[in-house]
């Protein structure tokens, strides 16, 4: 407890300082680890175990949201392997050049060290990538699913490397892992009957750790990979999304320990710091450029390639594992563990700066990237056409669907929904909605909307406020003259939109209160035959009277408002 208290205090201060300067808290957590190491505070017992548990639960929740068919796409498995091979070769060349410039710890001609370090730094951080995707609500997007698929490919390569490095192949009992499949079948049936959230959380943790981590680790395979596989096997269950949400807070808390533990791994010397920074500066840009080139080669659009390239352009925690294994086997000097830990931490900071929510850097790069022939772009990634729709609903979660239904059914407008989550878009199409899979933060998309000259209203109902802000800015830049309605969840979001010039601002929770009052009145009227206070000439929908849109509006389109952060 005596060690835990300073860890908790410094970590909280680090997170608050990062928040104060508008940086993600994870940077503050990394900094807290370095401060604790500088103060000589020893890691408290269980820190590494908590950090490992956080990563395991994170991979399990990724599996719960992952479409396993993504791994079969060529731009995933082929692009992932191609990038890994080329990035390692480029890395060896860069390290050799740095050695010739007398960079500390790099000796000219030490090709084994160059190869191991270059291979380790060719991997991308699962933790950072998923954090960025979650903050943007982009886990289901094309670039998000492609990036996750490549991270899975890299995990498989990590298993092979560690097996070869230790000289210990997987146990002959590895084939018994097939038993995980019937276990998940039984668990799926149990989940169907569970009605209590605390049991869903407990079931999720148990599945991630027992048939996931423990079973795979017992046969000398990577335990985190097992958690990911079990999550994938449960992904199609109706309660998979609820389980993922229930585990979110637990996973986030444990991941704090992961970031702190990286910083606390050791206090670097000035030479270590210089070497780590040089590794980040000289290897990050080639890694990003290679990703973009590979994705373009597989016919992904410039914007998709740049989004995925920037997302994956960082160093992985796996570099630290490689350094640890290399030290144990005598391949690397023990100082490399500290250097690569520091390089990973610096890479995390840089990745946060490159992947800011406003996406301005993405647009800047795309504008300067060589143009592509639209006919040669993958059909899955081509710009969508809104046709003759006169209303667009951007974000087809609960709020978006309710707005779509009201506009289409009661106002008889021609409506099209736009959704960036592939799975949700397919489900809505199957349910009879006219939905296009597209990115509402894409300037090219809004230019196409403007050129259609038929859209009279755009309703921005994405769950992330910064996405709605960015889409609003693109609409104005494209010269859109129709009505723009924006859904907000907080008062400060509403003020930010008013500052941009927005007039139709629809507050989600105010709308929920009005809808609740309407339902109560209707229920009372039905039981006591009271007079309906709604004017006779008001339009009516399936759920009763429609009050119509109001400026600074109250929720004329709200439906269910539970868990609004999941609308997308």
E strands, 65-218, where?
A: none
CB–CB of 293/286 below 8 Å?
no
Q: How crowded is residue 37: how many other Cβ atoms within 10 Å of its Cβ?
A: 18
Residue 208: what pLDDT? 92
Residue 566: what pLDDT? 45
Give me the residues paired with residue 416 across strands.
392
Residue 452: what pLDDT? 57
CB–CB of 252/55 below 8 Å?
no
CB–CB of 30/349 below 8 Å?
yes
> Helices 223-234 and 180-193 sit at what angle, rounded to 10 degrees?
50
E strands, 126-196, where?
A: none
Residuewise pLDDT in 10s, the chain (568 residues): 667 888 889 999 998 998 888 776 777 887 888 888 888 888 778 888 888 888 888 888 878 877 777 777 777 888 888 899 999 999 999 999 999 988 888 888 888 889 989 998 998 988 788 888 877 777 777 888 889 889 888 877 876 776 666 556 778 888 888 999 999 999 999 988 887 888 888 999 999 999 999 998 888 887 888 888 899 899 888 888 888 888 888 888 888 888 888 777 666 788 888 888 999 999 999 999 999 999 999 888 898 899 999 999 999 877 877 777 777 777 788 788 778 878 888 888 888 889 887 778 988 998 898 988 888 888 777 776 777 788 889 888 888 888 888 888 888 888 889 887 877 888 888 988 988 887 777 766 666 665 656 788 888 888 878 888 888 887 887 777 788 888 888 888 888 888 888 878 877 766 666 666 766 666 666 665 544 444 454 444 443 433 344 333 333 333 333 333 444 4
Residue 291: what pLDDT? 93
DSSP, collapsed to helix, strand or coil, labels residue 261 as: helix
CB–CB of 427/396 below 8 Å?
no
CB contact burial 498-530 (16+ within 10 A = b; e otherwise): eeeebebbbbbebbbebbeebeebbeeeeeeee
Q: Show the tokens assigned to 64.
A: 């719960």
Distance CA 58, CA 126 (A): 9
Residue 91: what pLDDT? 92
Cα-to-chain-centroid distance, residue 86:
26
Residue 422: what pLDDT? 76
Residue 328's contacts (CB-CB under 8 Å, 6 or more residues apart) are: none
Q: Parallel, antiparallel, or unpaired: how do β-strands 540-541 and 544-545 relate?
A: antiparallel
CB–CB of 125/344 below 8 Å?
yes
């Amino acid at each position: 407890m005596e060690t835990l208290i300073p860890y908790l205090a410094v970590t909280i201060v680090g997170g608050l300082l990062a928040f104060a300067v508008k940086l993600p808290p994870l940077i503050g957590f990394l900094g807290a680890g370095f401060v604790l190491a500088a103060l000589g505070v020893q890691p408290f017992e269980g820190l590494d175990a908590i950090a490992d548990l956080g990563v395991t639960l994170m991979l399990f929740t990724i599996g719960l949201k992952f479409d396993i068919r993504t791994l079969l796409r060529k731009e995933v498995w082929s692009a992932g392997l191609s990038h890994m091979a080329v990035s390692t070769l480029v890395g060896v060349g860069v390290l050799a050049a740095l050695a010739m410039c007398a960079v500390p710890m790099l000796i000219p001609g030490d090709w084994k060290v160059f190869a191991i370090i270059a291979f380790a730094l060719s991997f991308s951080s699962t933790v950072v990538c998923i954090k960025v995707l979650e903050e943007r609500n982009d886990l289901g997007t094309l670039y998000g699913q492609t990036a996750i698929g490549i991270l899975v490919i890299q995990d498989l390569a990590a298993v092979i490397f560690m097996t070869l490095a230790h000289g210990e192949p997987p146990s002959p009992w590895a084939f018994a892992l097939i038993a995980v499949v019937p276990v998940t079948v039984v668990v799926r049936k149990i989940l169907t009957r569970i009605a209590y959230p605390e049991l869903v959380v407990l079931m999720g943790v148990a599945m991630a750790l027992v048939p996931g981590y423990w079973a795979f680790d017992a046969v000398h395979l990577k335990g985190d990979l097992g958690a990911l596989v079990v999550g994938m096997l449960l992904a199609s269950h109706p309660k998979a999304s609820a389980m993922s949400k229930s585990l979110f807070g637990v996973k986030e808390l444990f991941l704090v320990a992961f970031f702190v533990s990286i910083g606390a791994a050791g206090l670097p010397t000035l030479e270590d710091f210089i070497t780590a920074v040089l590794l980040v500066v000289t290897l990050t840009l080639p890694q990003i450029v290679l990703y973009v080139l590979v994705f373009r080669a597989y016919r992904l659009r410039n914007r998709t390639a740049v989004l995925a390239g920037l997302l994956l352009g960082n160093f992985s925690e796996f570099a630290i594992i490689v350094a640890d294994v290399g030290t144990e086997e005598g391949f690397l000097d023990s100082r490399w563990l500290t250097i690569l830990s520091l390089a990973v931490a610096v890479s995390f900071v840089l990745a946060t700066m490159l992947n800011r929510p406003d996406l301005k850097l993405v647009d800047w790069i795309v504008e300067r990237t060589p143009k592509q022939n639209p006919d040669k772009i993958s059909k899955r990634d081509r710009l969508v056409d809104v046709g003759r729709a006169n209303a667009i609903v951007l974000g087809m979660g609960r709020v978006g669907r309710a707005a779509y239904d009201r506009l289409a059914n009661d106002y008889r407008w021609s409506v099209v929904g736009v959704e960036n989550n592939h799975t949700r878009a397919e489900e809505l199409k199957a349910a009879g909605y006219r939905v296009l899979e597209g990115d509402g933060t894409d300037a090219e998309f809004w230019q196409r909307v403007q050129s259609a000259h038929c859209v009279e209203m755009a309703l921005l109902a994405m769950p992330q406020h910064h996405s709605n802000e960015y889409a609003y800015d693109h609409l104005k830049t494209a010269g859109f003259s129709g009505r723009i309605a924006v859904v907000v969840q907080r008062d400060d979001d509403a003020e930010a939109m008013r500052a941009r010039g927005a007039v139709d601002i629809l507050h989600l929770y105010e709308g929920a209160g009005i809808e609740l009052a309407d339902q109560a009145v209707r229920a009372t009227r039905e039981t006591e035959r009271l007079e309906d206070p709604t004017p006779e000439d008001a339009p009516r929908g399936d759920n009763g009277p429609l009050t119509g849109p109001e400026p600074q509006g109250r929720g004329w389109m709200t439906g269910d408002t539970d868990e609004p952060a999941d609308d997308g």
